[in-house]
């Protein structure tokens, strides 16, 4: 679930709260505020998130929690199979039956173009080597983090 703008979080949360609860797993809803696209995985057995202090493993019936995530990889396990997504910085709201992720980038592994991600990484690294003001530096660092997250997820598929 991704934040779409002011008030979007409350609308999305309200919508998500109408989803029926399953005892088998939890729902994972990931939204991308730039594209407006959403990914929804149902009956997920476990979700691994890139937390600020390291990876977090979330199981159904987790205590309610709101925390920050960093750019990286989300792994959602469903029926014994792992699904991989690259995400940017954002926030995650965890309830016993739902994991709602609000981020500025969310891409499934199969939708990542490795060549484009590698080019984006190189552009961001070159940009960071220049003399930039704080805002430009932050934008280049975010672009680099997005590219690295995409490459990590995509390259994991090859192994």
Low-confidence ranges of the chain (pLDDT < 50): 1-23
Q: Are strands 98-103 and 26-32 parallel, antiparallel or unpaired?
A: parallel
* Cα–Cα distance, 47 to 142 (Å, whole number): 23
Q: Output the pLDDT for position 40.
A: 64
Q: Residues 48-89: pLDDT tens digits? A: 999 998 999 988 888 898 999 999 999 988 888 998 989 999
Domain span including residue 16: 8-109
Residues 83 and 100 in one domain: yes
Q: Output the pLDDT for position 27.
A: 53
Residues 74 and 99 in one domain: yes
* Cα–Cα distance, 78 to 42 (Å, whole number): 8
Q: How many structural domains is the chain composed of?
A: 2
């Amino acid at each position: 679930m991704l934040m779409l703008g002011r008030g979007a979080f409350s609308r999305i949360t309200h919508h998500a709260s109408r989803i029926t609860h399953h005892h088998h797993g939890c729902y994972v809803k990931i939204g991308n505020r730039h594209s407006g696209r959403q990914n929804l995985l149902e009956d997920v057995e476990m979700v691994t998130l890139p937390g600020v202090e390291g990876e977090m493993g979330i199981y159904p019936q987790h205590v309610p929690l709101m925390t920050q995530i960093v750019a990286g990889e989300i792994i959602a396990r469903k029926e014994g199979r792992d699904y991989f997504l690259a995400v940017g910085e954002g926030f995650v709201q965890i309830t016993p039956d739902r994991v709602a992720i609000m981020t500025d980038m969310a891409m499934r592994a199969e939708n990542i173009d490795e060549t484009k991600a590698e080019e984006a990484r190189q552009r961001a690294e070159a940009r960071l080597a220049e003399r930039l003001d704080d805002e430009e530096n932050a934008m280049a660092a975010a672009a680099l983090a997005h590219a690295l997250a995409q490459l990590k997820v995509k390259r994991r598929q090859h192994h």
